[in-house]
Amino acid sequence: MRVSSVTEVRLNLPHIELAAHLFGPEDGLPVIALHGWLDNANSFARLAPRLKGLRVLALDMAGHGHSGHRPLGAGYALWDYAHDVLHVAEQMGWQRFALLGHSMGAIVSVVLAGAMPERVTHLALIDGVIPPTAEHENAAERMGMALQAQLDLQGKRKPVYGSIDQAVQVRMKGLVAVSREAAELLAERGLMPVPGGYTWRTDSRLTLPSPLRLSSEQALSFARRVSCPAHLVVAADGMLGKHPELLERLPFSREQLPGGHHLHLNDEEGAALVADCFNRFFAIP
């Protein structure tokens, strides 16, 4: 299934220009959809058209897809994405809005909904929930590794693929494997032509390690401060299923569905299951 009615939009924020896809009726419930790491707005190409009564703005997050990259010297911290979302909401005229997030986008959603609970009406999460955590004893070592990685990145170049199909095949076998159809959708929005073939539009700085990580209690504090209805879809073969102890500590309702980490994008069946789940969630008064 391809998107039947979607509008391409550009959002000129004070500090960056972002691209997005807009789905659903103009009078629908405002929803800002945030994709996962190294993905783009096409992550929601199968899911968003199935959601009822929602005005879904699926962003290319900064550094991804057709959106701008952050200036030299800047980075891609989770709270910087949350800042972007607030500016997007201002431009759309949405004082209050729902968040729909997958993976990294789900983490950003929880950070924002916990930090500013008065702004968020619903929190719909797909196989992602809190920021990655680390023990405080390793903070200095992690900072050093991150600083060195920033220096080393200057001499690196992105891989160039001879054809779109070659890039799609590599994406299928990435850190998180996806179906061919999912890889094609992500490549459709994520690749750009360069001399010798194609490369990904994504900012190379997105691959850098985080210089700082929160403790478990700090990360969970965001989830605990969420005040709106929140529902988490756990992929049976995804990432969160490996952490049952974390799931038990979350104050959100949750549902496990068959499929991998990209279950909402990999095939029509997965998209339909996730849509059914969230249509029921958003329909609750």
Burial class (CB in 10 A: 0-12, 13-18, 19+), 80: middle
CA distance 246 to 46: 29
Say yes or no to pLDDT of 2 above 80: no
E strands, 24-148, where? 29-34, 54-59, 97-102, 120-126
Q: What is the pLDDT of residue 284?
A: 75
The whole-number pLDDT of residue 73 equals 87
For residue 240, the model assigns a pLDDT of 93
How many Å separate Cα 277 from the centre of its chain? Answer: 19
pLDDT tens digits along 200-225 = 999 999 999 999 999 999 999 999 99
The pLDDT score that the predictor gives to residue 1 is 38
The confidence score (pLDDT) of residue 137 equals: 79
pLDDT per position as a tens digit, 84-143: 999 999 999 999 999 999 999 999 999 999 999 999 999 999 999 999 998 887 899 999
SS3 53: coil
What pLDDT score does 4 carry?
A: 52
Residue 3 has pLDDT above 50, yes or no: no
Q: Is the pLDDT of residue 250 over 80?
A: yes
Quote the pLDDT of residue 67: 98
Per-residue pLDDT for 54 more than 90?
yes
Average pLDDT, the chain: 95
The pTM for the full model equals: 0.96
Question: Which superfamily does 6-138+214-283 belong to?
Answer: Alpha/Beta hydrolase fold, catalytic domain (3.40.50.1820)
> Nearest 5°: phi and psi at 128?
-170, 150
Tell me the domain boundaries of the chain: 6-138+214-283
The amino acid that residue 84 corresponds to is D
Q: What is the pLDDT of residues 175-196, one digit of tens each?
A: 899 999 999 999 999 999 999 9
Alpha-carbon distance 165 to 8, whole Å? 25
Cα Dmax for the chain: 54
User: What was the pLDDT predicted at 194?
Assistant: 96
Token pair listed for 32: 């800002």
